[in-house]
Structure 1
Amino acid sequence: MVDSDGKINKYLPFAVLYFFFNSLLLPLGLLYTTLLTPVFILWLYKYPVFKYFYFFVALSVVFAVVHFFNGVSFAGYTKSYVLILSVFFWCMAFYQFLLNCNSLQGIFNKLIIINFFLVLLALAFYFVPFLKPILWYKNSLTAGSGNVYRLKLFTYEASYYSLLLVPLVYYYYLKILFFRTGSNMLIFCLATLPILLSFSFGVLGGIALGFVLLLVSDVKLFYIKKIKYILITGLVVLPAVFFILYYIFPNNVLFLRIGNIIGGNDTSFNGRTSDSIILAYKIARDKNLLFGCGPGQTKLIGADFFKEFYHRYFAESEVVLPNNVADILAAYGLLGVLLKLGVEFYLFFKTRVFDNYYRLGLFIFIFIYQFTGSFITNIAEYVIWILAFTAPIFPEFNKRNVFPDYYNNELIRNA
């Protein structure tokens, strides 16, 4: 809890709570950050950011008028709206935290170390049958794979845990690429091992694709010797690893899932992408395609659509759209989706995300991921969006600081 300068970091306990224990011992869907909403309101009231609350309420009223006109369950609507409102206050609180905090790097350093020791604890628990379910999540990754234990620590699900790791992974990967750390392999293992143990192919694929697109976005990156070395090594090592796996262990989970995805037989991938969009469209259209069916209504009216689509019975509790865009489409219609995407593009240019490699990397990742996973009240997703849109954070990753000679020469040329 103490920084290198000897001062107590007042924000670290909240960071540890959010990252590791936010759902511990709570019913599914409830978080401690939700329970702390009154505290966030009292804290935020003195800051200018609080004005966005009034805009949020005004916009919500417009949607609510249409939703209630079309017919909703008042209890379900109110409960879900209060939850969405708590997420909005959390987002404002996190944004204000980033503006106030001058020790984000120190917090990241402590989080990755704490996470490492918890991973060691989880590895010990793995060999104790009655302790294993505390920190590991068991499910089938794809058709034919059987059940696999995936690391989740104290979160409710492995994919959610891996999404929490993304800001740390991007930070330390870029730090390795751009700077001399003196312990590259150790940092790489600290950032990579937990996310591999989560077996979250959606997050892993998003990170890989995000880094490829980040590199392609700026040709100057290919002139960094370390990046060239990694690319050349990767082009040699990865095909060799795949070749060896194919002949030694052809039925491994990775190959099974890739084959099922290509063949359209991966129910998890389909459920998070195309199936969710199709079902969300049907649910929204049933009430109002432009404004959606309203928060808390998807489960109430979606069971019949799920039954028709999957040809089996669905209880209300099983009606889930594990895709943020789809979830918004069902609840707030095409207008809600256009508003979300519009805000993302507006803030991308408004905050000049493209000037900072860390923020740009996060933006690319989460823009892709919103179409393949998450849900409307997923605060882990919104944390990544807010990090991407907050200009003051990690200036060392600003393009002008990574390539000072290039930009200084450009200033001279333009003088």
Structure 2
Amino acid sequence: MIPARAWAGWLLVAACVTPAAAQPGGTGEILSIEVAVSRALEANRGLQIARSEVEGLSDRIAAVRTRKYPVLSARLLEGAFLLPLEATFPAGAFGSFGAIGPFPPTDTTVRSDTRFLSAAVLTAAQPLTQLRKVSRGIRGLQLEQDLARERIDAQSREVASGVRKAYYQLQRTQAGLQATEETVALARELVRLATAHRDARVVLGADLLTAQSRLARAEHEARRLEDAAVTLREQLNALMGRDLALGFDVPPLPAPGATEASLPEAEARALEARSEIRQAELRRQQAENAVHLAREAYIPDISVAVTYAALANVEVLPRQTFTAGVLLEWEPWTWGRVGHEVAASRRAVDRAALAATEAGEGIRREVRAAWRTLGEARRFIDVTALAQQAAREQVRVANERVRAEASLVREALQAQAALAEADAQHDAALTSFWTAFAEFERVTGVR
């Protein structure tokens, strides 16, 4: 029969315990894990930076594409000749006329003065053979853009995995806080009973001090878990691109369920969803494009050019000239440089092919390791859950016996210590499981 005073003590303790839904940092908004992941994928600052890089590559592609169009240039010179211009015309340079004979009749030199002059040159050149190089350059940038998109996909999965891990950890922290508050309630009741029995000179003072020490440790653990919950909320807010001070609550952690897919199915899903293999294939295509671009160095640059030149304040030279023709620029002897560049690009193709194979094998290893870790964590939860239930029942029985026999305070203290250890092991098991579950989702390509 439990004394009425004991019942009053238990009611007082229950009134003092803070429920899990009203923990520090909560505002009443229940944030589901699906909403948290969705917000993070939309507003995460790191992902926004990566998306901006992809948009920047679009601008670079548009800029390179303009190199296919005619190149227009204008040059203007304002100055004076340091030395006068001289033009020598031999006798009869302009022909021979019957009445006057050859013109000019003798060799004639015409000199200009060093007056101020103006010269303008306008050129329009349409690239021809360079168009292949420009196309290769555009293709390289497009591959880089595709690779950047695949990196965003991989980064999105990392962000989603980080959100899930922090979310599960917050759920476990809140559950651990609730369990710790129950431990605090039990410890307070034991301290109350030990104090009453010590006053009656039935319990030693050392047993009371031990009970008070256990209570202090439990209260400290509760405060530590409260701080950890606030830190995890701030971490989730940062991942979601929100103000760190925004509060929210999360629902209780569900019981671990069975794995939905078999190991072969998980491997197949990971190989299809993960971007590492696609990234390796894009790098191989980049290397092949680099080989073709290096070979373009053997081809001369040929353009069709039209030039207009105008001179002002010059009497010796023509005032205006028009020219049209073909402009060729070529480096016929490169001392083997182009050959070495082509060979290096070919080796890069071989490396990229090996990297693609290694990426697939690495994904399979990660999936298998995560699968085994998840199974071990699930089995360990059952072990710690049974131990936790047994320890909690022992504490309850020990407290009941203390009320009947004061000399059993030490037995109750030992039972509380066993319960605290069982709670810690079960909490660690649950944390390991949900961390392993989040990692398993990451390696299988879940977003």
Q: Structure 2 length as normaliser, TM-score?
A: 0.22
More relative contact order in 1 or in 2 (CA 8 Å, sep 6+)? 2
Q: Structure 1 length as normaliser, TM-score?
A: 0.23
More helix by share: 1
More strand by share: 2
Higher gyration radius (CA): 2
